[in-house]
Structure 1
């Protein structure tokens, strides 16, 4: 080893040790100035000797170049959510369920604060940090490795003292990225002094920082991290308890909340909750509750899981903070899916440390139930400490005239969409329906715009769905491009996609870069490369030749999924008969009930939607049409199949296509009418439902054997 290499190794060791003592042990060994001097020396050595620069070097925390976008990461082990408890009684019921099932009294729990940040997963291979991802939807997250490298509390290598000569082959550590309160206040003060953009609150600051495409911006944010669990591991000896595992993670170099403790039984949990609640405002970070986890791993395994949450853990949320204010106006916002949401414009009020000026009223039923009117004094709270909502009207303080009558009439929901003028309709969750037309609805209704393809408020969502892989499959046309195309008025309906040129895409990209304050000036001034634009133009052109079922699915008709679109295409054979079909005719289609029939008929009753369909045809979008196919053929004709869990030999979509080609209907939910369920790896609630109903279950081996014996026609 050369002198330079030896010194670089020594500097990396010193800096790694300083980071560990500062972020994990809370016992700094050297002043900041000395740390900075060591870092500058290492940077100089690596600049003079590039071969000395390693991926786990502390110098790599400053952030790499701008990322083109975030890659998707499929979690090998899903990042599950937690069920919530909002009262002592719910906690008591949670513990009693565990006691009954395990046959123990006062089981031990690992208890910890519920941080108000962003859940992430860190993957280490042979002791080196190789990838980090957000939780996403629990199954798939975003690769934010470069941004996570900028957080000093996250070790780039595992502590050698803890791993010995052989680090774990794989160690996936899960935890929360958060923004300390002091760092948040200092950052906002600096932004106000320099005219920069201040952050709304620490949680949004943490989440927004990790989703910056320029890691240098994330590096400038005061982010930190606490570990709280594990994902997949290989070559790691798991302790018997969760609390011991947290101490093992701390020894490996991961910061763990100093508030972590062990408590037993209901009384121990509630005492911890009360104790932390009293100290909540004095903690250096925001929390919105506490988390209780059975401490022993064998007891966790015995309790198992339900749906997407473990039975052995629960989040006990703090009561939402509430304040009084007055309603200055009631307005309606149209969401990306067409749902109309009433919003109360409020006199500004501080709730849970945040100035609230707007609060959701949820839907028309909620407005009627509360009888909210302009001028009312209301109680507003941040539900779950996040979303402001109106809880109650103080009727005694309602403004009245001299005769004692209310000054303002009850609010009346609009009959037409404020964004496009299309008629609105009430959409209720259906509990049961029959071919005879009998429908039983759940309580509450959403008011939605029927404008569909035409409504400007739904434009972006309609385009994202239209371009998706299972619809028109326009490769490369993701949300970021669609946002810009709509914002700069290049696209108003899905048909406008087929008029876009190479020059239009390049100009759109230039305008998007100019408005994006995360794009460096050097990039804005540079020439935009055109290969991506050429690919997009080609992908749009390729999508002109498609199938009727893809077109029907791509139109985004409410409640018309892939299976229903395929059934409609087979039943009618062509689009015009579907567009002209009455509700009575649509109900005759297999698996189309009165609710879905009304959705389809209502969609095509809107002239705007028919105009967009004609514009697609005029733009050259074509699909084969033929005679109706009124009965499914094949060995699975008349069978309903549900796929759940992960398959190794093929994707679930591919398996579904193979089964449908053999005559099966592939459904998304299990019922008594389900013929059989195909259960892959990590199958969850659908498998449990099938077992509860006595529905036949196939594993992947049986599915593959059946498909091999019955090749698709």
Structure 2
């Protein structure tokens, strides 16, 4: 029996540490909060009964996850502890009883929404934001200041006010559901992996290396707790401090309440259990804190949690229904995505008929069989997801769901690239959804933005044989008589469409490159490639290594672009588009001088900057008379250095005694 207990403790420890790594480091939720907490409680109970088997690396002694290696690691002045949590009313009442036993009956609580986002700690000195640090492992976290500065609701500098010279304020970074859906749709259109929920998207965004990319993703932040030296001399309670930080310019959540009795707390919990779906962002529970600071100190802490606070966590909404079938969707990049077709069921206020199955790995993990009774969950997931099977209701002798080996649309053998979970159909020239998807992508608003054409138009023209390749769009003017015979295509509609096609020829090279639909090449990557190589011929001539050397490109993207541009069919298509008059080179515009303060000086830019892209900084320098060069020499006047600058450049500049300046120094030189 002891051997079984030891084995169970070891298994739970390994399993929960893996879940923690996925959640905190990789920003990936692979298990529901409820299931995680139940396993953690089981492990805590076993370790208490059999301490000799407790692993030194047990998740019961940890707050968060490991530190990523991408950012500077900063130690928290005040540890970022996690909260004890519960899923039932009785444990809330027991928490209230414990508190009153220690501090008496004169107690009030602050009830706050528990945001489903990324915890952050902000440090201000003299009213200026100095550091932003993630939770990390609770004692130290990643410094992500430049990324957090892109969040509009986080003030960089406070107005004059009665705040401490130095203080720390903590909160939660999150993404509103509407922004999540829009950005996820954009990722889907670009053929890159989508995020499961807003929390993962927000966490993944904050850990990006380029603040410019972070700024393109609309994050938000609520602040909810203040730390400072001698805080208790300035404020008597948490509620008082939160009202103060609001007056200093911080965004706090309006749905926060003072409660006196446990019944008021439970009413608050129940109210938001039903009303949370009306919010624009996700919450997964309620946080209850003892209001009075002196009482908080009297109650104290356990090793990992404050005794004066607890979180009530809502169970993710889960329903049972029948799996009718699994269908497979083929996207424009050839990715084959399985979708579960369900017996209609009401979930979180909407009728659910379909749920995502993501990929073949997920089908295998669930061990799905035909006609299974499945658990469907929404919770923090925007898209309903099958999270398990009720094996007790499984009909005997039913066949397992087998992921297809051939494309469900064209019958081509599917391929799976090393390191990817998704299967692809390689028949891009003969697979209907891929052809139509590429046509629809090409005419999109952020691509060629062809007015008078839409997704339905592309479907219709494909069915009629008018379009097979994107270059065929520019031959439609030769088929006007055929177009006039189509329903809903009057002469004016045809004229508008042909005008839109003609105007699209003026779109810049970066838009054309994005519109080609190269796998892994989104709007930003297309722009960086176009600006770096200037001309399609130079891009075609470049090696994969040369492409990967461009900022933010990397090996996987470079391989995809290289393979695309060395496919004879693609080169033929590009040739037809060039003949049609599309732009395949950057048109260098004459720089309009805004001043001559940098005249006669040469500059080289290296690294990443918080407020400028390198292209914007170069344009600024040239517009004030400066000259950009591509290498370091003794004749270089200034090296403009940002974060992540290569050590070899820095060493060479120091050896040649080239002055090293920042983007702020450039602005000062211009202003002077």
- Confirm or deny a common fold (TM above 0.5): no
TM-score normalised over the length of structure 1: 0.42
TM-score normalised over the length of structure 2: 0.44
